[in-house]
Amino acid sequence: MTIRAVIIGAVESTAVAIRAFAGSSWELALVVTLPPEKSGRHSDYVDLQPEAANVGAPIYHTSQTNHADTLAAISEAKPDYIFVVGWSQICGPDFLNITPGRVIGYHPAALPRLRGRAAIPWTILLDEKISAGTLFRMAKGVDDGPLLEQHFFHIAPRETAMSLYNKHMSALAIMMRRALARLSDGNTDFLEQDESCATYAVRRTPADGLINWHQPAQEIDRLIRAAGRPYPGAYTFANDKRLTIWRSELVEPALPFHAMPGQLIANDASGLLLQTGSGQIRLTEWTWDSDGQLPMHGIWGRKYD
């Protein structure tokens, strides 16, 4: 008997999940995603039309998960399971009741740790050593449903948002194949989360990428790695123009310069050398919102109390 599924999402992880249906015994009956004009909601938005077409699934565009028309479209697809992968909106009771107990969510963290938002940046900011991707049964709470699949991996010392993002995509591909095989065989065993280990990640916005040059070099470097592509990037200001920083490296041991936090020490072929609250950092890739030359004098950033 063919099992029918619906996927809702709008980013690369959604595309990875769709690919798992190719060659499986499942039928992907519908892909629910954002309309192109709403793509700005996700910095890593992906047009899912090619992926859906590859597995013969129609597309339904919506900007509201719990709108009556969205719920009707999903119901009309007659899914046995719904997969919510790469979709940041809350799924209400009416959504969950389309396939009670059979709505499977994805979270890029080792649940029950880092429930909530922006799990990939927070993983780097917290200097986690191990993480995991997780598939779980969605319920009324925040990422607290029982676990279906988890795939663990190590976090590299110089992990970036992009490298961690790619690790999660590889983990998700493995988990989706395992989950589809298990569920099609009737294996619906789930593991309850240990609430004593639960932590919550608070939502981050582009404004959280603003660098405080009074922080130690290690903390600034970590922010740059956490906020980088596919996210909007860490940033500062030079002559009131935004400087978005994509890559950096620590300078150890520090070079023999005396400078104030946020002061540019050197601009050469190696990059931009700046003083921080403790130590120095070299910026090796950046985008400046100006056609002029970067200022060599003065303090970069904004004043911190």
What pLDDT shows up at residue 292?
Answer: 78
- pLDDT tens track, the chain, 305 positions: 789 999 999 999 999 999 999 999 999 999 999 998 987 788 789 999 999 999 999 999 999 999 999 999 999 999 999 999 999 888 999 999 999 999 999 999 999 999 999 999 999 999 999 999 999 999 888 899 999 999 999 999 999 999 999 999 999 999 999 999 999 999 989 999 999 999 999 999 999 999 999 999 999 999 999 999 999 999 999 988 999 999 999 999 999 999 999 999 999 999 999 999 999 999 999 999 888 788 887 788 864 44
Do the Cβ atoms of 5 and 79 come closer than 8 Å? yes
Place of tokens 């050197």: 266
Do the Cβ atoms of 81 and 3 come closer than 8 Å? yes
Sketch the domain layout of the chain as residue ranges.
3-201, 206-288
The CATH number given to 3-201 is 3.40.50.170
Cα 28 from Cα 10, distance rounded (Å): 16
Domain spanning 206-288: which superfamily? Formyl transferase, C-terminal domain (3.10.25.10)
What are the DSSP calls for 158-173, one per residue? Answer: T--HHHHHHHHHHHHH
Rg from Cα positions in the chain: 22
What pLDDT shows up at residue 302?
Answer: 63
Q: How many other β-carbons are positioned within 10 Å of the β-carbon of residue 241? A: 14
